[in-house]
A and B are shown apart, each in its own frame.
Chain A
């Protein structure tokens, strides 16, 4: 399905995605409500976040039906951000250790 004819999909598909997003949001709220800690908490939060983001981009924003040229142009550049996150995490660790040794 191309954009020239428009993105036409059954309403029931949107309702299913909507319901699924509600379920996933409830689950991520319950992670906090039941006070999960440490790695279990972080894994669940990230997994639920990525699932919700994937559903929104793929179905609500119609990425699943776009041509690969557009999909790659939009989805690959943000991967650079992982490098930024990695660099800043290293830097933050260094700052933290420096503060522990000199400012306590």
Chain B
């Protein structure tokens, strides 16, 4: 494994600064000792971190700058169970569902590395099922908020007008990520069952694609941790 920082021999004969620049950038130097698929997934997740952080920072800004009181999320998202208002119940269940899906995904990755592809695929389908469950509960939450509470992106009866726009933007973008993740997981699981990753030509005959898909799924769970804390609990 060549990890030296000295310029590689290929770069040496180039003369002129522009040629040197091209030679340096094209001369097959490796910083990350992982497959390109995994490195690119991590870089994508890094960029996604910045997108979600910008949304959350924007939410912080409009909430801090507001002279109208912010609606209390604890009351807005409460559910009436047998005549008793339980605060944030649906959100708590959604949190547990997403954490459970992360747990099954981690085990799917584990089985994939043991080359038990049927078990890995089953666990991935279970993970996708939890994902569908999460999105369904989000649909219920949105429709309750829009139809019963009268929350709109431009205003709501409970307080600050920006509550609606930030809520729909942040949870909507997260729900979109969950939906995309479900499609991604099902695609990979079906291909795994069909033996597509056993062909040496495709991925070198290993199941690392399961770990890469897992990285994306855990990231979706990670973002929810931040949304749950900063939007629902704050």
Residues on A lying within 8 angstroms of B by beta carbon are 2-4, 6-9, 11, 14-15, 17-18, 21-22, 25, 28-29, 31-33, 35, 41-42, 45-46, 48-49, 52-53, 56-57, 59-62, 66-67, 69-70, 73-74, 77-78, 81, 84-85, 88-89, 91-93, 95-96, 99-100, 103-104
Interface residues of B in 180-234 (CB under 8 A from A): 206, 208, 211, 214-215, 218-219, 221-222, 225-226, 228-230, 232-234
Q: Which residues of B contact A33 (CB under 8 A)?
A: 87-88
Question: Roughly how many angstroms separate A93 CA and B61 CA in the complex, as a whole number?
Answer: 9
Partner of B67, one of A2, A4, A42, A99: A99
Task: Name A's interface SS.
Answer: helix
Question: Roughly how many angstroms separate A53 CA and B222 CA in the complex, as a whole number?
Answer: 6
Partner of A74, one of B46, B57, B63, B229: B46
Question: Contact: B60 with A81, CB < 8 Å?
Answer: no
Cβ-closest chain A residue relative to B225? A52
Given contacts A73-B32, A103-B67, are A46 and B229 in contact (CB under 8 A)? yes
Question: Contact: A32 with B225, CB < 8 Å?
Answer: no
Interface residues of B in 54-81 (CB under 8 A from A): 54, 57-58, 60-67, 74
Asked if B107 is at the interface of the complex by the 8 Å CB criterion, the answer is yes
Given contacts A8-B110, A25-B99, A33-B87, are A99 and B65 in contact (CB under 8 A)? yes
Q: Which residues of A contact B53 (CB under 8 A)?
A: 78, 81, 84
Given contacts A70-B42, A73-B32, A81-B53, are A96 and B218 in contact (CB under 8 A)? no
Q: Number of B interface residues, CB 8 Å?
A: 58
Question: Contact: B114 with A8, CB < 8 Å?
Answer: yes
Residues on B lying within 8 angstroms of A by beta carbon are 31-35, 38-39, 42, 45-46, 49-50, 53-54, 57-58, 60-67, 74, 87-88, 92, 95-96, 99-100, 102-103, 105-107, 109-110, 113-114, 206, 208, 211, 214-215, 218-219, 221-222, 225-226, 228-230, 232-234
Given contacts A8-B113, A60-B102, are A95 and B57 in contact (CB under 8 A)? no
Q: Which residues of A contact B221 (CB under 8 A)?
A: 56, 60
Q: Which residues of B contact A35 (CB under 8 A)?
A: 74
Given contacts A32-B74, A42-B234, A96-B64, are A88 and B57 in contact (CB under 8 A)? yes
